[in-house]
Structure 1
């Protein structure tokens, strides 16, 4: 999981710029989007994140006017968009394929939407706007080229320039970086965020790539099976998931299932009852799952103390089953106790100091502080 390189911008309290109220979309007997309510702030980059078929692209298309909701309404900057056709909405959508016209030059592609404006713009106005957009995306010297003469990253910037040329109130991005290879995609994520913030346009990004959402968005909405499960900042979504789906979909986690009895989680396949933070304690007898991120797990050759200060520790001995060396850190796959329970731990390479790191088959201790586990009731 890559870390964000900047903090999310601070948004003062103000009415939602985009308000989605109880939106549903049914295709025959299939409910693609199920009663979604969501607010997006002015100048925010908001990501809809989920696996394929979860309803995120259908929701984006309803905002754009390309699909009509079965129920609910969409309000943008105080205007109800229910009766506004797609071509009249103050939105612009950039598709995954970029949808550039192959027979037009870069400048012609950027100018296309401007030529459809009513009242008509003059040739001088169009040329000035195209020049401004190409300067924004640093493609001035490619104005006369055709799309096939550009790299994937350059085509993406042409599509973005075309989307921004009409100065939409809302920019909609549908998997905008999916066509790029990993190395270019990582660089382009930050470049795209910088461009969007410079323009100051409100943006909704649809992606199935958790790293892309965590890097680019101020807030994220996690979707599954048409339902919006959780909305929050990247750190809120990762550190405090609201359900098992979010915990497992965003990054990796260890999940332990059981019931709360006597202030501990019993019945899980961890070798001992699990201590949890007192402030996270639901009612006794509640069936819960405990999520523990791999980087919260500490490995050592010696057992830890039972408590760290006044903080309880959960610990068990296990055998190193597999090791994935990733440079800055290694991911250890452990088999705990005498059973088949598996657990993963992400350990910085510098953790072992001058000592050698554990090898496959070696016995080690794994432990974490009780407050580092997140209790989930669904």
Structure 2
């Protein structure tokens, strides 16, 4: 089982008052814990992503907030109010499901109006019509008000589902894999559109996703879950650039991980031909002789041409350098991914911009190269 040491879990978005507070929340199904000891503060108007692989507990956590699952332990406080005794239909939350759950026999307008018609005391018919018109205008679907869901594209259905979720003016919007039903091209276009709509309305939002790119693009902060517990909480930049453990480093993006033991300001590793220099404060502060890993993102690896047999010597203090050979190259237009092989056989990945080579031809598969990176670009991890 992975360790869980959340960072910043009790702090909301900087400068925003705490809107939702989760205290030691847990959910058990029989003898198995789906969610365990989760504590988290989410700020007002924040877009917060719960990110993790299938079965990590993120959807169960969202369903407990919505009132669709009863917690086994802990509390959920919205603006200081304990929601434990509040049934799902009376909570000031609204949930948009992955399937959108639109009623096929209703028009777009009737789908958006459905929740408003359930309110007690009843809303006047004219007020409902005005609110539906306002929501459809917000998501740019007024022209489709009389159509039925099956007559819409996936992206249009997603807009209608969002309009329905926002119609009752929830204090908390819950999105469960909201873009999963869209193909990749439309999903990328919709991410920014959805964020713009949420910000325009000014509602606090919790987004559940297994798509790291979606979380990094849409969220102010991300909580990474593994085996029912929070592993790390932070902004996309914090989590990507300063992961707190191997799980976070490997789950968000790609990374090169070198394992070894600490010798002063170096990591002696069988993965690398000589001890790796790391910067003070680059992640953890381990004792000498302790086990550790160094995470290095592919874009931090510099690749240089070299003639076979040339000595690889650091050009700057604190620089790590080694000979390597190009195993494979993936051309991606503006950059290429180099799969490299170090002298001991260890694989290494480098992401190199096309402009890096200038007027010279880049190295081909099988050619010798020199790899390097400055010590501060690596992040030292103790777990």
TM-score (norm 1): 0.95
Asked whether the equivalents of residues 32 and 226 of structure 1 are also in contact (C-alpha less than 8 Å), the reply is: yes
**Post-superposition CA distance 1:241-267 (Å, at most 9, x none):** 011001001000000001101321113
8 Å Cα contact 2:303/2:350 also seen in 1: yes
Matching residue of 2:340? 334
Q: CA deviation at 1:268?
A: 3.1
Q: Give 3-state SS (helix, strand or coil) of 1:356's partner.
A: coil
SS state at 1:108 partner: helix
What aligned pairs does 1:169-318 form with structure 2 within 5 A after superposition? Answer: 169-280=171-282, 281-302=285-306, 306-308=314-316, 311-318=317-324
Tell me, in whole angstroms, the C-alpha distance in 2 between the residues paired with 1:161 and 1:15.
26
The CA distance in 2 between the partners of 1:279 and 1:19, in whole Å, is: 31
2 CA distance for matches of 1:299 and 1:360? 13
Aligned residue in 1 for 2:5: none
Choose the corresponding residue for 1:357, options 358, 362, 365: 362
Answer yes or no: is the 8 Å Cα contact 1:106–1:145 preserved in 2. yes
In the alignment, structure 2 segments of 5+ residues that lack a partner are 1-11
Moved over 6 A (4+): none
1:23, 1:73 within 8 Å by CA — same for their partners in 2?
yes
* 1: CA distance, partners of 2:304 / 2:108: 58
Task: Sort the Cα spacing of 1:11 and 1:242 in 2 relative to 1 into closer, same or farther, 3 A.
Answer: closer
2 CA distance for matches of 1:14 and 1:178?
29
Pick from 68, 73, 93: which aligns with 1:91? 93
Distance in 2 separating the partners of 1:292 and 1:30: 35
Return the offset for 1:14: 4.8
Report Cα offsets for 1:307-360 as digits up to 9, x if no partner. Answer: 42xx411111111111110111000001111x2200000000111011001110
CA deviations over 1:281-305 (Å, ceiling 9, x no partner): 4211111110000000000014665
* 1:92-126 deviation per Cα after TM superposition (whole angstroms, max 9, x unaligned): 00000000000000000000000000000011010
In structure 2, the residue corresponding to 1:17 is in which secondary structure? strand
1:17-166 to 2 correspondences below 5 Å: 17-166=19-168
Aligned partners of 2:58 and 2:208 also within 8 Å: yes
- What is residue 370 of structure 1 aligned with on the other side? 375
Check the 8 A contact 1:47/1:213 in 2, yes or no. yes
Q: Structure 1 residues 89, 288: CA separation in 2 closer, same or farther (over 3 Å shift)?
A: same
Whole-Å separation in 2 of the counterparts to 1:376 and 1:263: 14
Consecutive unaligned residues of structure 1, counting only runs of 5 or more, are 1-9
Counterpart secondary structure, 2:98: coil
Aligned equivalents of 1:196 and 1:19: distance in 2?
20
Decide whether the 8 Å contact of 1:304 with 1:367 is kept in 2: no
Superposition RMSD in Å:
1.2
In the alignment, the residues of structure 2 paired with residue 11 and residue 217 of structure 1 have an alpha-carbon distance, to the nearest angstrom, of 11
Residues paired across the two proteins, number? 366
In structure 2, what is the Cα distance between the partners aligned to 1:372 and 1:307?
A: 16
